[in-house]
Amino acid sequence: MILSIAASLALLGARPPKRPILHPMMLVPTPQHVIRAKGGFNLTADTNIVFNDAAPDDRFAAEQLMEEILTDVGVRIEPTAEKSRRAISLVRTDTEIAPTEFGQGYRLTVTPTKVTIAAHSSEGIFYGVQTLKQLIRANLTKNSIPACTITDWPTLKYRGWQDDISRGPIPTYGFLMKQVRILSEFKVNMLTLYTEHVFKLKKHPTIAPSDGITAEEIAELSSYARQYHVEVVGNFQSFGHFRNILKLPEYSDLAETPSVLSPALDESYKFLGDVYSEVAPAYTSKLFNINCDEVSGLGNGPSKELVQKIGVGGVYARHINRVTNLLRKYGKTPMMWGDIALNYPDIVPQLPKDLIVLPWAYDGRASFDNQIQPFTKFGLQFMVCPGVSCWNEIWPNLDNATVNISNFVRDGAKNGAIGCLNTAWDDDGLNFFNDNWFEFIWGAECSWKPIIPSKRIDPDVLRIDRFQQYCKAFPGVFYGLKDAGFSEAIIKLSQQRTNAISGGLRNSAIWRDPVTTFAKLPAGTQVQPYMNDILAISFTLRDAKAKAIHNAPTLDYAIYATRIAKYLGDSMAAAAAAQAGNRTPLKTLSGEVIELRDWYSDLWQRENRPWWLERNIAKFDDLASRVQKL
C-alpha cells in the first residue's frame, strides 16, 4: 500500500529505522557525495570569479554566478580571466570526474580562502555553478557559504520535462525561455513540446491556430536553451490524437477513426512526410518524439483488411517503421510512447533497434517494472515518463505525483533507463504551468540521484526521507525563503481534495451547481473547518510571496488556486444559507465568479498566447450567469 505524504511522514516520525544520514545543506538535486568542513568562504567585494576566457560557455556560467551573488549578497563580483588571490575559479580538468560515460560531472570545493569548480566539460562547469548558486541562495550565513567538497554527477543522462501545448495553452516564447532558465538551475537538460496540430506549417497552413508555434521560434528556442545545456527535442503526434487535424474537411479522408490517422493509406505517409520536412529540420536535436499513443480502433476504417491479415500489432509495428524511415533523412532517432506495445507484445521485436521507448504511467504504484521490462528484454533504450498529476486539477495531486515520479524513476534507473521525461498534460485546457514547479523539480531531484533500493530499509522510508529533505530545501533553493512553510502549505492544499466540499479539487468542481451539490454532501459536512484551512494556507502563501527573493511571481498561481478553493467553500456556504431561507450569499457569489474570471485572464496572459483563453473565459461567464439565476 502506498501511503499519503502526511501519513508517511507521521509513520516516519513514529519509528526509529536505520536511515541514511542526509547532509544538512539545502541543495536540490541532492549531490552524490558531500563532505562538510569547518568554516566558510566569505563573499566580499575583493573576490573574483575566474574562468577560462577561451570557453564562452564558462563565461556564461560565470555571469550567472555573478547575478546570483548580486541578488542574494548585494555584492558585485565581476567575472575575469585573470588569476586572483581570493577567487571563485571555474577550472577545466583533463579527466572526467563522473563515473559515467556521458559526463556532466563536477567537483565543487569550498575552503575559507577559495572556491573551485572543476569539471571536464562545459556541462559540468554549468552544473557546478548551479550548486554553488544554491549554496549562496539557501545556505548563506551573513555573507559566508559553508566549507565543503561536493563531488557530483547525474545518474541518468537525460532529465527532461514535457509541456503540453496542444490542449489549450500555447506558451509565449518568453515563458518557454523562463521554463528553460528555471529548470536548468536544477540540472534538467531536455525539453519537448507535445505537438498535435499547433505547429504552423507552410505546406498545410489551415491546420494550426493563428497563435501556433513556428519553425523560426523553435530554432530560436533551441539556440537559447543550448547555452543552458537544455536540448529541445522534436515532437509531432504521428498516429493517434489526430482529431484536430482529421476534423478539417480537407484531411477527413485520412481518418482510420475520428482521432486516428489511417496506416493503410499512402496519403497518410505523404502528409507525414510533408510535416516532417518542416518540423524535423527546425529542431537541432537528433531525438524526435513521434508519440503514436492511444490508437484504439485500428481495423475499424481503411486498415480493416490489413488488420485481418497481420493483426493490430503487425499494423502498428509497420506504421512505426514507415514513420521512422521518413525521419531517417533528417538524421533523427525516433522516440515513441510505450502503451500500445505493452498491450500487444508482438510489436516489440518488430520495432527499429535504435528507437527509444517512452513507457508512461501516472499512478502511485509500488513498482513499475512491468512497464519497463518488456522493452529491456529486447535491448531497446527507454526513458521513464511519470507525470506531475496536474491535468483537470485545481492544484496538482502531490500525494500521487510524488510517489509516481520517485518510484518510476527508481525502477527506470534499476533497469537501465537513459533518462526521465516528466510530463504535464492540459486535458481540459484550463491548467497553468506555473502550478507545477514543485513536482517538476522533484523530478529533477529523483532523476539526478534516484532513490536506490535497499534490502535493509523499507522503500517507503527511503522515499519519505528524501522527500522530507526535499520539502525543507525547496523553499530556499527556489524562492530564497528561510523556512519550509511553503512546502507544508502546498501539500496541505493538495490534501484538501479529500474534503467533500472541495469536489476533489477537480476543475469540474468549479462549474458545479452550488445548490444541487450541497444537497448531495454527506450528512454533517461542515464548511467552516475547510474554510479555516484554506485561509491559513492562503496566508502562508501570501507571506511567502512577500518574502521571496527569487521567482516570487510564480506564487500568484498557488494563491489563485487557494482562491478557487475558497470559492468552492463559499458556494457551499451560500447554498446552506439558501436552504435556511437566506439567499443573499448566493447573490454575491456571481460577483465572486467574475472576480475569479478576471484574475484567471491575467494569469493566463502572463504564460500563454491568447488562443483558447476565450473558451475558458466563457466557462466563467456561463457559471456567473447560472449562479445569478439561482
Q: Which of 455, 466, 371 is nearest to 420 (CA)?
A: 371
Q: For residue 79, what pLDDT is reported?
A: 86
Residues 432, 485, single domain; the answer is no
pLDDT at 86: 86
Residues 218, 122 share a domain: no
Give the range with max mean pLDDT: 386-395, 456-465, 577-586. Answer: 386-395
User: Do 281 and 311 belong together in one domain?
Assistant: yes
Cα–Cα distance measured from residue 452 to residue 460, given in angstroms and rounded to the nearest whole number: 11
Asked, for residue 492, whether it belongs to a domain, the answer is: yes
pLDDT at 92 over 50: yes
Question: 620 in a domain, yes or no?
Answer: yes
The residue with cell 548585494 is 74
For 403-421, b/e burial (b = at least 16 CB within 10 A) is bbbbbbbbbbbebebebbb
Q: Answer yes or no: do 370 and 389 share one domain.
A: yes
Residue with C-alpha cell 535491448? Answer: 379
395 assigned to some structural domain:
yes
Averaged pLDDT score across all residues of the chain: 94
Residues 180-211 have pLDDT tens digits of: 999 999 999 999 999 999 999 999 999 999 99
Residue 326, domain member (yes or no): yes
- Mean pLDDT computed over 524-553: 97
Asked if 495 and 615 sit in the same domain, the reply is yes
Whole-angstrom Cα distance, residue 585 to residue 557?
A: 26
Residue 53's CATH number? 3.30.379.10
Q: Mean of the pLDDT values across residues 340-352?
A: 95
Cβ within 8 Å of residue 156, ≥6 positions away: 409, 412, 413, 417, 418, 419, 420, 447, 448, 450
Indicate whether 499 and 441 sit together in one domain: no
144-172: average pLDDT:
97
Number of domains composing the chain: 3
Nearest to 279 by CA among 361, 340, 358, 222: 222
49 and 164, same domain (yes or no): no
Q: Could you report the per-residue pLDDT of 556-614, keeping only the tens digit for each?
A: 999 999 999 999 999 999 999 998 999 888 889 999 999 999 999 999 999 999 999 99
Percent of the chain residues past pLDDT 90, beyond the cut: 88
% pLDDT > 70, the chain: 96
User: Is 25 domain-assigned?
Assistant: no
- Of 426, 458, 490, the residue at which a domain comes to its end is 458
Q: Which of 125, 152, 179 is the last residue of a domain?
A: 152
- Asked if residue 171 is part of any domain, the answer here is yes
Ranges 10-24, 148-162, 218-232, 499-513: which has the least confidence: 10-24
Do 119 and 260 lie in one domain? The reply is no
Give the confidence band of 55 by pLDDT, cuts at 50, 70, 90: confident
Please check the confidence at residue 14 and state whether its pLDDT lies above 90.
no
* 435-438, long-range: CB < 8 A, 24+ apart: 435/390, 435/395, 435/396, 435/557, 435/558, 435/561, 436/388, 436/390, 436/396, 437/182, 437/478, 437/551, 437/554, 438/396, 438/398, 438/474, 438/487, 438/490
Is residue 9 in some structural domain?
A: no
Give the mean pLDDT of 260-272. 98
The three-state secondary structure class of 239 is coil
Q: Which residues contact 148 (CB under 8 A, 6 or more apart)?
A: 25, 34, 35, 36, 37, 108, 109, 110, 135
Quickly list DSSP for 140-161.
-BTTEEEEEEEEE--SSSEEEE
Q: Taking 80 as the threshold, does the pLDDT of residue 347 lie above it? A: yes
Q: What is the mean pLDDT of residues 41-46?
A: 94
Average pLDDT in the 508-522 region? Answer: 96
* Residue 115 domain boundaries: 33-152
Mean per-residue pLDDT, 121-136: 98
Report yes or no: 511 and 619 within 8 Å, Cβ to Cβ. yes
Q: Give residue 24's pLDDT band: very low, low, confident or very high (50, 70, 90).
A: confident
What is the C-alpha to C-alpha distance for residues 235 and 192, in angstroms, rounded to an integer?
7
Check which CATH number belongs to the domain holding 536 and give it.
1.20.120.670
Average pLDDT over residues 224-234: 98
Please report whether residue 570 resides in a domain: yes
12 pLDDT above the threshold of 60: no
Q: What are phi and psi of 464, to 5 degrees?
A: -65, -40
Of 277, 225, 182, the C-alpha closest to 477 is 182
Confidence class of residue 372 from pLDDT cuts 50, 70 and 90?
Answer: very high
Contact between residue 473 and residue 538 where contact means Cβ atoms under 8 Å apart: no
pLDDT category at 281 given cuts 50, 70, 90 is: very high
Give whichever of 62-66, 75-79, 457-461 has the largest mean pLDDT.
Answer: 62-66
Do 486 and 447 share a structural domain? no
- What tens digit of pLDDT does each residue of 396-454 get? 999 999 999 999 999 999 999 999 999 999 999 999 999 999 999 999 999 999 999 88
Q: What is the mean pLDDT of residues 149-176?
A: 98
The reported pTM is 0.94
Over residues 342-367, mean pLDDT: 96
Lowest mean pLDDT among 73-82, 240-249, 438-447: 73-82
**How high is the pLDDT of residue 5?**
52
Q: Is the pLDDT of residue 15 over 80?
A: no
CATH number at residue 333: 3.20.20.80
Q: Are residues 449 and 550 in the same domain?
A: no
Given a cut of 80, is residue 509 above it in pLDDT?
A: yes
Q: Which of 128, 152, 176 is the last residue of a domain?
A: 152
| Phi-psi domain of 503 (left: phi exceeds 0; alpha: psi -120 through 50; beta: other) | left
For residues 202 and 307, membership in a common domain is answered with yes
Q: What is the pLDDT of residue 102?
A: 86
> What is the mean pLDDT of the segment spanning 241-247?
98
Let me know whether 334 and 383 are in one domain. Answer: yes
